[in-house]
Amino acid sequence: MAVIALISCVSKKLPHRAKARDLYISPLFRMSLRYALQYSPAKVFILSAKYGLVGLEEEIEPYDVTLNEMSAWERREWAARVVARLREECDLERDHFVVLAGRKYREYLLPHLRSYEVPLAGMPIGKQLQFLKARTVRGRGYGR
């Protein structure tokens, strides 16, 4: 069993092409990544509304797309593409997933994962930031 971290994209991005780990610049993303890395995950992926499943080192262009503006059908289609990529990268039956993403990003993904946790479930953004700040050590993992 491997630990796999899934972090949702955020709207605040650099204005130019960059590695995914650097493109997203909001405090929520930075702290989510730092928190996820404390698990020493085998892999970390970003759940991108535009690109689907993105590795931290993949270079992508900035975009202005969110699942919050998509219909349930569009979100199901997006999740199906993400699950297909996850099957290529992970073992959905054996791996344990740490999902740091909002409800719309996880609602059609979680039924495909046998073992997962959602540490930020039900928390508004401010509470998420407090939770992450209290549980991360500055300087451990990736963060600026």
Q: Which domain holds residue 53?
A: 3-135
Tell me, what's the pLDDT at 143?
41
What would the mean pLDDT of 124-131 be, rounded to a whole number? Answer: 95
Q: Is residue 143 part of a domain?
A: no
Q: Is residue 117 part of a domain?
A: yes
Q: Is residue 144 part of a domain?
A: no
Tell me, what's the pLDDT at 138?
63
* DSSP codes, the chain: --EEEEEE--S-B-SS-EEHHHHB--HHHHHHHHHHHTT--SEEEEEETTTEEEETT-EE------GGGS-HHHHHHHHHHHHHHHHHHS-TTT-EEEEE--HHHHTTTGGG-SEEE-TTTT--HHHHHHHHHHH--TTSSS--
Q: Is residue 34 part of a domain?
A: yes
Residue that wins the pLDDT comparison between 117 and 136 = 117
Q: Is residue 74 part of a domain?
A: yes
Number of structural domains the chain divides into: 1
Residue that wins the pLDDT comparison between 89 and 141 = 89
Q: Is residue 140 part of a domain?
A: no
Instruction: Round the average pLDDT of the chain to a whole number and report it.
Output: 94
Q: Is the pLDDT of residue 141 over 60?
A: no
Tell me, what's the pLDDT at 139?
45
Q: Is the pLDDT of residue 72 over 70?
A: yes
Tell me, what's the pLDDT at 137?
73
Tell me, what's the pLDDT at 142?
42
Q: What is the pLDDT of residues 35-50, one digit of tens each?
A: 999 999 999 999 999 9
pTM value is 0.93
Q: Is residue 98 part of a domain?
A: yes
Q: Is residue 51 part of a domain?
A: yes
